[in-house]
Structure formats: structure tokens, C-alpha cells
Amino acid sequence: MASDASRADSGRLAEETITGAQIIVRALKAQGIEYMFGIVGIPIIEVAFAAQAAGIKYIGMRNEQAACYAASAVGYLTGRPGVCLVVSGPGLINALSGMANANMNCWPVLVVGGSSDRNQETMGAFQEFPQVEACRLYSKFSARPSSLEAIPSIIEKAVRSSIYGRPGACYVDIPGDFVNSHVNKTSVRYVECCLSPPICLAEASAVSEATSVLMNARRPLLIVGKGAAYSRAERSIRKLVDQCGLPFLPTPMGKGVVPDNHLNCVSAARSSALLNADVIVLLGARLNWILHFGLPPRFQPDVNIIQVDICAEELGNNVKPAVCLLGDVNAVTEQLLEQLGKQSWRYPSSSVWWDDLKKKMKLNEENSKALAMQNSLPMNYYVAFHHIKALLPQDCILVSEGANTMDIGRTIIQNYQPRHRLDAGTFGTMGVGLGFAIAAAMVARDQNPEQRVVCVEGDSAFGFSGMEVETICRYNLPVLIIVLNNNGIYSGFDENTWKEMLTWGDPALVAPPLSLIPNARYEQVMSSFGGKGYFVQTPEELQDALKASLADRATPSLINVIIDPRSERKKQDFPWLTRSNM
């Protein structure tokens, strides 16, 4: 039993000193951090408790990958990084997926990782791993504070690095022996919240040059990327589209910066718009695989690119730009507007270019409509999406991943608001969906409680992080998950064919690698944790399930939609990334 004297001693110690865990969360709080996602274990359990005590919301996840995806989605949605808290070794290694994904997407995230005690370094300590070094490849900044007193300044630097310049991932390593060590309170100096990122403008002469290139365009096109969404350029880009009468094409996560139902949106003529444009204003999007590198056969060989980006190193990647506008998309768009406004320039709506685009859009829309009208069962993707589109609230945050599910869904489901679509992104990562949905639901709960989060998943994609359904139910987040279930990766087989194949021999030798169990009952994952599950096979059942789950704002739900495993994408003009003929 502790003596009175020793109890008094420990009371005085707590009053005069502060632990490493408390310093970490005070420093995070000082930098405006609101959300922390993670999985606790040795040595960071106390950090999670301290975070809650300091008013930082802590969401315990089921896998560090999903935790890190969630933290990065907070960064994209709010412009301040979410924190991912992980244990040493394997915990940190799992989080690397999320750091890589965030860095590829140019989204801010801060990973805080516990590591083994300093006095056991190189001795084969529990979960020992060179964590700072490992994170370097996946981040903009990776460091370990040299002492407890150094924690606040390292955390400020990590937060600042994550949002300044091109946003990305940052890592702070916390040796286990830091967490419960004490130092005198007066010896710790907290660093004030870093300023919002400075807004950079493009060089004035480059802006003039860009406007003259644009005004001489015969077939102009604006491409709106997720950098534009991140920079909150919705008002200025909308104005540019309206004031100048320009056609625009959003990238997958650029959707909604200007609403998809705007008359100038040429998504339905995407290939043709890219192929024939002679001047492209590239607003916060990279000429990577998503935009076919900006090269023939998908683009004109002599296309003039006016490239707007915050990252100087990005300018000129794959295509030499006609004009480089280095700066913040929103601010640079305002600069362009001012110049173009002075000359009252407007691209004529009576041009051959507009006629061509409109003809092509009509044709493509009719093709999709025809597919959506098929009434055979099981449903094809187009039929399922037709009903989903009709019933989703316009302001919902849509999360989507999967191969066919994401690709077809993107062409049918419209986005009306910026930063309302989260998907597999630049890195094409499957498994992001549930983490993103959890983050979006947390942010929505604080900023716009009426808003719904809808997560449209392929059956394979759902499997990567399906256990996060428990997280959704534990925090009672009213997320609606829709699983489009075609029995496999890309596509599987119907039940009878599957059963017959199993008679051919050892499944490990004969089962097609693309296959998953036919008609798997994914909705039961949701009902097993107390949410609502729906198994639907017909359009009527789908409509009923959608109406019921959207009406119930208090309960998470999962609708498992059986899709014809033979249902495919409509024929594409270019077989890009669909070249596998399986």
C-alpha cells in the first residue's frame, strides 16, 4: 500500500509535470486537429485516452489501412489533416497504404506512430522497425522528436508540411518510452497553430499569355481536377464556365466543382472532347493515366495546355505546356476571369465544336438509357444505377470503389457539389471505401447533420475493409452502403456454373481467380452488428430498400444488390485499362 507521503508525492508530480501522451495531444489540439482514427495497443493506448480528454474525437477502427484512409479523407474534406494513430511495426506498416494513397492523391494526413523504446533500439525489441526511414517514401516529412520538449515543434512542422505547397502525408514517430515519461510542465513550449497555407498567384505576364491562347482557341476545353476541388475553386470556376461559355470536363473527383447537370458539362462526350480539343485549361489535374498522359491517340499531338498547378515540379509532365500558371487554382482562376472580363470575351455557343460535342453527348446518353431499360434479371449495372440515381439525395457525399461499379457509376450518378465524391483515386486503391465513408460521416455529423453518406461498393472492393461495418455500427453513423454484387473481381459466375466448376477438382486449382462466392449475403455483415441489411434481386426491391434506408436517419444500412455476372460496361472507343479480355 502506498504511504500517505508517496501518494502526496505522486499527486504533486501530476500537478507539476506532464506526460508525453498529454504533450502530443496538446500539440495536436494547438494545430487545430479535430479527428483521430486508429487502433490502440502498446505503446500508444494513453495517447488515444489523452486525445479524448482534450476534446479530439477518437474513432477506433478495425485495420490501420482504413484508419489512415479515413484520416486522409478528413484532410481532403476540411483542408486540415486528420490524424491516424498506430502502434509500432505492423500497425505502422498497415498505415503505409493510407499514406501512399494520400500522398498520391495530394491529400493532407498526419500519421502518429508509436515505436519501440529507445534503449532497446537494434536489440530486436517488440515490433522494432525503422519507421521514420520506412515512411520517407510515402510522405513529405518523416521525423522523430529528439525529446519530449521537442514534440510540439515537430508536430507543428508536420501539420504545416501536410497542407503547404502540394498537400500530402506526414509522419511523426513517438518512441514508446516517451508516452508515459514526465517532464516539468514549464519546460514545454507549445507552438501556435500554423497559418493557413499562403495563397500564391500566377505571374501576371503568364496570365495575359494564357488568356490570349484561350481566346484564339477553336475547340477549347476546361478540365477540372480534384486539386480544384481541394482549393475550393467552385465559385471562380463556375463563373469562368458561365462568363465565357466554355465546355468543361471534370475528372472523377473533380465532379461537382461545377454541377454535373450544368449545360456546359461534356462528361457524356469525354473521349471526343479530349481527343479534339485544341486548347485545354488544366485546373488542378495531372496528365497521368487518368487523363491518358495528355498524349495521342487520346489527345491532339499539338494540343495547347494551359496548366494551372500549385506544384512547380508538376508543370510540363508528359506534355510541354503552352503556358504554365504556377499558383493556387482558385486564385489563378480569378486572375483569368479578371483578364477575360476586361475583354468581355465569350466562346460562341454557335460553334461547330459545341455542335459536335452535343451530338456526341446525345448519342452516348441514348446508349446508356437503352441499357438502363433492359428488364431481364439479374439486373445489369445500368439498371441498378438508374434506380440509385433516381433516389439518392442531391447533397449526399458519395463514396465509390470497385471496377465496373466505380467506372459505370461515375458516368451515371451525378454530383452537384464540390468534394462530394470520394473514390479509388490516383492510386486506384481498392479498400478505401469504408474508411472514407466513416470520415465523411464524422465530418457531416459536425458540419451538416442532415447530410447522408452513401458508399457504393463492388463486392470485391467491399471485402478489403468489410469489417469496418462494425465501426460504422459502433459509432452509429448513418452510412448507407450499397454493394453491387456480381460474384467476383471484374465479374464472377452464377451459382450453377460455380457449383459445376467445383466438381472439376481442387478449387485452388480450378476455381477462376476472379470468382467470389455467388450471391454472398453481404447484408448480413451489417445486420449482425445491429444495422439494417437488405438483399435485393429486382428493381422493385432495390427501390423499396433505398427508400427505407434513406428514410431511416438513425440506422446504418447495407443493400446487397445482385447483379448479372455477365453484365459489362458498354463498349468503349478505347480499350484503356480494360484490355484484359477475360
Residues lying near Mg ion in the complex (CB under 5 A): 458-460, 486
CA–CA distances in Å: residue 306 to residues 74, 285, 323: 30, 11, 5
Binding to ligand ADP by residue 286, rule CB under 6 A? yes
Smallest separation, CB 561 to Mg ion (Å) = 11
**Element of type H or E holding 83:** strand 82-86
Nine cell digits for residue 251: 475528372
C-beta closer to ligand ADP: residue 93 or 337: 337
- Closest by CA to 436, choosing from 385, 490, 477, 380, is 477
The CA distance from 268 to 365, in Å, is 7
C-beta closer to Mg ion: residue 406 or 440: 406
Binding to ligand ADP by residue 161, rule CB under 6 A? no
C-beta closer to Mg ion: residue 234 or 523: 523
C-beta closer to ligand ADP: residue 92 or 104: 104
Nine cell digits for residue 389: 440515381
- Binding map of ligand ADP across residues 109-148, x = CB under 6 A, - = no contact: ----------------------------------------
Window of 90-98, 148-156, 219-227, 553-561 that interacts with ligand ADP by CB under 6 A? 219-227
Single residue of 51, 68, 74, 106 touching ligand ADP by CB under 6 A: 106
Residue with cell 432495390: 542
C-beta closer to ligand ADP: residue 72 or 487: 72
Smallest separation, CB 13 to ligand ADP (Å) = 46
227 binds, among ligand ADP, Mg ion, none (CB under 5 to 8 A by kind): ligand ADP
Binding to ligand ADP by residue 415, rule CB under 6 A? no
The CA distance from 503 to 380, in Å, is 28
Binding to ligand ADP by residue 108, rule CB under 6 A? no
Window of 281-289, 373-381, 390-398, 509-517 that interacts with ligand ADP by CB under 6 A? 281-289
Single residue of 100, 150, 311, 511 touching ligand ADP by CB under 6 A: 311
Give all strands of the β-sheet with 82-86 in edge-to-edge order.
57-60, 35-38, 82-86, 109-115, 169-175, 141-143
276 binds, among Mg ion, ligand ADP, none (CB under 5 to 8 A by kind): none
The CA distance from 194 to 168, in Å, is 16
CA–CA distances in Å: residue 478 to residues 60, 292, 376, 410, 559: 17, 37, 32, 23, 13
Binding to ligand ADP by residue 419, rule CB under 6 A? no
CA–CA distances in Å: residue 420 to residues 395, 452, 541: 8, 11, 27
230 binds, among ligand ADP, Mg ion, none (CB under 5 to 8 A by kind): ligand ADP
Window of 25-33, 305-313, 411-419, 496-504 that interacts with ligand ADP by CB under 6 A? 305-313
Nine cell digits for residue 192: 501556435
CA atoms within 13 A on the CB side of 565: 21
Nine cell digits for residue 142: 518523416
Binding to ligand ADP by residue 230, rule CB under 6 A? yes
Q: Which residue is nearest to ligand ADP (CB)?
A: 227
